[in-house]
Structure 1
């Protein structure tokens, strides 16, 4: 869908009047659509005064000229929601001029504001405001409401007598966008009087028309984002000659992604397991906005700031250690693991055992794409090319006996054991029990080897407990956190070190400094997002959501197991995985086929080869969960097994 949205500061701003002026000036360029009408029909008015315009029928029309949600209630009818209106978007041979009602904060339904609909359209916004006294404040207040939702008007139309002062003030405060006054016919509105008024405003309308006709822009220029992407961008885990163009995403909210063509997809994998509460949760977005008004960034070597301290204190408070632990910030899951490996080895060096250079990981483990993380993962598909560059490490079967044998054979050599607790993510969503995890931990205790928990994917409630290791009743020596730490809004990672690890560095001897750091360590804006996310977790609502989603998944797994070709279906917290009985592993052709089939059902999934999985945000509605489950069934059946 292309076009633009006409949004008013309030009910009497002049949205329909501006729409009439615009269509009178460009009658063959845009089609008019007002999804919801109350009182006299604006669509009929446009049809009467601009006969050359294409006028599309509203989705809902109510006779009483009051707020649509109230009019619907009085007529005993249902008010269409965001999904209903998006699904009803008419097909036209030209871009749409979509007129809204009231203002951005007007209620669309009993629990949704029109602002959510405007955001979901993912189209340029023209803000209309009366030029009467108070125009500057009125316009800036509405613009602030739009900005709060991640929207910024591309132009402002003031309806009424010319006010150069208001235009100048609004232009300067909204970044130089086009702002102009439009004087409407003084008397009766006729085709001729409207045409004359449109001609008087043509110079101003001509500034707006190419902006809204072009749609979304990149670098200030209209563009085909897919074509521009193909010329400039190198995507992760994607062949440069991939047969599938990347999805051009224009907006996101809750569990949904809105594409630039207007499609709405359910983000069934939380955008690579990052989005925790949902896309753009208001509390986190507000925290980010507030943070940008105070501090953008400051080096973290020899400096600190409140958000970093509050977050570290909160994280440590969730650990089973007692006082004395520390938090070391970095940028992502891979770096969190690198920090843990370096800390574990350097701690041994400080204890006089520099010969402990061997780390132990587990088969099917994945810990990131940097060299230390690759060395512990050793997946031949992902990392086989780099084998000559990787340091020595062991990968053993995920069993206490195998680990015990390895630590016994390499006594005095091992610096640490690294495991993804309860779920091995990228290795195929492979599950192990809390009892198995505890058995691994107890082996490391007997051998005196540090236990490192990679909670990058499993942390922050995704497995049913705040940290996955909690279910085993263990106390790791080091914990790696990332992905969901900011709710998925910004990149940030943390490595949590136990008091025993910290004690090895607790000295004034500068030669024993942990010489590691990143330019954007503990970025204040990211830390503010993480603090806000942590506060959301502290409400406890996430526990209810995990139980609700897990119950859906248990029922869905039972159905998936009955499908031909499904080897296993498994559930843990927010995770539902179906493993197909086909060869090829991560490179299995069924992976692409299942992804495309899920997209046909409006769900974004990214199979791990022959393993199809879902891991949605906590906010995902029951309806969306049902759609994800349906898409997974459809995806499996599409493979023709």
Structure 2
């Protein structure tokens, strides 16, 4: 079958995520037949360079032989067993290894990033209820934060496009200033912005600490905010302030964990340990849905009791799925055996000259890089910039999905210099074609990751 056949069937039967389906009357879906490394291949044989790692999940390319082999082996042993009352080898080994890597123990599993956020928020809330602090029921998030789209996660998400419709259903959270380095005023650098934001956080904690259960942050990079990158001193200050005011720190490393920022986990660059660490996306290398929340022994102990009602009564049918855990173990093996973090540092240095023409483009603002994430903002009045850019890049065989006026690359780590050069050349052609063409649509496109 060809693209057109699958396109028609998908349009009739599938409700696609984060999408206005009417758009596909004029902007067709792309049916994908297979993946090969950094490439996605459609049913007509056209290849697309997956520069966003299929929504930030794919670490080592599509169809990685070692992850494939691990899953085939696991299929011959155990595909799934309920984790209530039972356990299995992959979930035990994965929990042990994540604990050793993070200094946190007792991993609790979910199915996706929003589930991880929900788990951490509920655990923090219940901890305070069970330790004599029933007034600590609120959460602090950063301005422009994104933590997921289930109701608890949406309550700490500050993206109007996602939360406005559901506002009556959401608990009221507190918003702290973002440390986004792009907010620098005259004479300020990224560190100064981070310290100024930390001062704003302290004022909020001083006024509300008795009501606050936790602060939740995306360490170093706020993804849906337009890849807002910030200085690690903010994390150091947030850790200090949370300790000072008796508030949990939740590190949402769903997008930035597993090497995206240059270290295995972003919090390492500030030398801190959060009270809760949320992981998902890259945890299985982009193969299977899995999320994990790791927390401290102190939090775990507050739930350890003879009374069932004091336990953490949260579950998913596929909690700790054996196949997903086995894929995650293969991912950790690849990191350890192939020295991925060092390789990524080498690639980032190798790619820097290739990206220099983008940095110098007259329409580019705030060119920035953190580990294996590159981003820049485009100075354009086009209301339809993101959609037009996405469409033009697809025609050139590149999957790049801007967030508003922010263009970013977050490719699989297996990308090579030749492929990065192709991506940069296509991006330059698209910028030249779109910027200055006119205003485009009068209705601005909302920023959608």
Task: Give TM-score scaled by structure 2 length.
Answer: 0.90
Partner of 2:439: none
CA distance in 1, matches of 2:431, 2:351: 16
SS of residue paired to 1:265: strand
Q: CA RMSD in A?
A: 1.6
Runs of 4 or more, structure 1, over 6 Å off, are: none
The answer as to 2:212 corresponding to 1:408 is no
Task: Give 1:638's match in structure 2, choosing from 421, 433, 447.
Answer: 433
Partner of 2:10: 229
CA distance in 2, matches of 1:406, 1:581: 34
CA distance in 2, matches of 1:517, 1:320: 24
CA contact (8 A) 1:308 1:524 kept: yes
CA contact (8 A) 2:290 2:324 kept: yes
Q: Mapping of 1:154-553 within 5 angstroms?
A: 215=1, 224-242=5-23, 243-321=26-104, 325-398=105-178, 399-553=197-351
Deviation at 1:638, TM superposition (A): 2.3
CA contact (8 A) 2:375 2:407 kept: yes
CA distance in 2, matches of 1:566, 1:505: 51
CA contact (8 A) 2:304 2:311 kept: no
CA distance in 1, matches of 2:342, 2:306: 47
Q: Mapping of 1:10-159 within 5 angstroms?
A: none
CA distance in 2, matches of 1:581, 1:364: 20
Deviation at 1:557, TM superposition (A): 4.7
CA distance in 2, matches of 1:394, 1:554: 39
CA contact (8 A) 1:598 1:605 kept: yes
CA distance in 2, matches of 1:438, 1:635: 39
SS of residue paired to 2:40: strand
CA distance in 1, matches of 2:106, 2:217: 20
SS of residue paired to 2:171: coil
SS of residue paired to 2:256: coil
Deviation at 1:486, TM superposition (A): 0.6
Deviation at 1:290, TM superposition (A): 1.2
Q: Which has the higher contact order (CA 8 A, sep 6+)?
A: 2
Q: Based on CA coordinates, which of the two structures has the bigger radius of gyration?
A: 1
CA contact (8 A) 1:274 1:484 kept: yes
SS of residue paired to 1:519: coil
SS of residue paired to 1:452: strand
Partner of 1:621: 416
SS of residue paired to 2:403: coil
SS of residue paired to 1:619: coil
CA contact (8 A) 1:557 1:571 kept: no
SS of residue paired to 2:22: coil
SS of residue paired to 2:306: coil
CA contact (8 A) 2:147 2:156 kept: yes
SS of residue paired to 1:224: helix
CA distance in 1, matches of 2:59, 2:241: 33
CA distance in 1, matches of 2:13, 2:399: 24
SS of residue paired to 1:377: coil
Q: Deviation per CA, 1:415-450: give whole Å up to 9, x if none.
A: 000000000011110001112221222111211211
Task: Give 2:356's match in structure 1, choosing from 551, 558, 561.
Answer: 558
**Gapped runs of 5+ residues in structure 2?**
179-196, 437-449
Aligned residues: 416
CA contact (8 A) 2:380 2:435 kept: no
Deviation at 1:249, TM superposition (A): 0.4
The answer as to 2:389 corresponding to 1:594 is yes
SS of residue paired to 2:165: helix
1:247–1:216 distance in 2 versus 1, CA, 3 Å: closer
Task: Give TM-score scaled by structure 1 length.
Answer: 0.63
